[in-house]
Amino acid sequence: MYALVDCNNFYASCERVFQPHLIGKPIVILSNNDGCIISRSDEAKALGIPMGAPEFKVRAELKQKNIHVFSSNYPLYGDLSSRVMKILESFTPHIEPYSIDEAFLNFDGMSIPDFHDYGSKMKYRLQKWLSIPVSIGFADTKALSKVANKIARKFPEKTKGVYVIDTEEKRIKALKWTKIEDVWGIGFRLNKKMKAKNINTAYDFTLPHNEAFIKKEMGVVGMRLKYELEGKSVLDLDLPKDRKTIAITRSFDGNITTFDEMKERVSTFATVCAEKLRKQKSCCNNVIVYLRKDKYKTERQHYNFYKMETIPFSSNSSITISNIAVKMLKNMFEEGEIYKKAGVIVTGIIPENQKQFHLFEEENPKHLKLMKVMDDYFKKTGERKIRLGNQDLQRTWKMKQNHLSKKYTTDFKDILKISCQ
**Residues within the interface to another protein (CB under 8 A):** 20-23, 83, 86-87, 89-93, 120-121, 124-125, 128-131, 408-409, 412, 415-421
Q: Which residues of 380-403 are buried (b: 16+ CB within 10 A; e: fewer)?
A: eeeebebbbebbeeeeeeeeeeeb
Strand-pair partners of 28: 40, 69
**Closest separation between CB of residue 418 and another protein, Å?**
5
Closer to another protein by CB, 83 or 307: give it.
83
**Closest separation between CB of residue 350 and another protein, Å?**
22
**Closest separation between CB of residue 7 and another protein, Å?**
14
**DSSP code of 214?**
H
Closer to another protein by CB, 22 or 324: give it.
22
What number of CA atoms fall less than 13 Å from residue 418's CA on the CB side? 5
Angle between helices 211-229 and 142-154 (to 10 degrees): 70
Which helix (DSSP H) or strand (DSSP E) does residue 275 occupy?
Answer: helix 259-279
Give the dihedral sign, CA 324/328/334/338: negative
3-class DSSP state of 74: helix
What number of CA atoms fall less than 13 Å from residue 365's CA on the CB side? 1
Closer to another protein by CB, 129 or 306: give it.
129
Closer to another protein by CB, 132 or 325: give it.
132
Distance CA 176, CA 229 (A): 11
Closer to another protein by CB, 132 or 342: give it.
132
**Closest separation between CB of residue 136 and another protein, Å?**
15
**Nearest-5° angle of CA 244, CA 36, CA 61?**
160
What number of CA atoms fall less than 13 Å from residue 332's CA on the CB side? 25
Q: By the 8 A CB rule, do 351 and 282 touch?
A: yes
**Closest separation between CB of residue 129 and another protein, Å?**
5
**Closest separation between CB of residue 234 and another protein, Å?**
27
- Say how many residues make up the chain: 421
Closer to another protein by CB, 239 or 420: give it.
420
Q: What are phi and psi of 124, to 5 degrees?
A: -60, -40
Which helix (DSSP H) or strand (DSSP E) does residue 123 occupy?
Answer: helix 115-130
**Closest separation between CB of residue 102 and another protein, Å?**
18
Closer to another protein by CB, 89 or 182: give it.
89
**Nearest-5° angle of CA 183, CA 241, CA 233?**
40
Distance CA 374, CA 171 (A): 55
**Closest separation between CB of residue 417 and another protein, Å?**
5
Closer to another protein by CB, 396 or 421: give it.
421
Q: What are phi and psi of 246, to 5 degrees?
A: -125, 130
Closer to another protein by CB, 94 or 367: give it.
94
**Closest separation between CB of residue 355 and another protein, Å?**
24
Q: By the 8 A CB rule, do 314 and 362 touch?
A: no
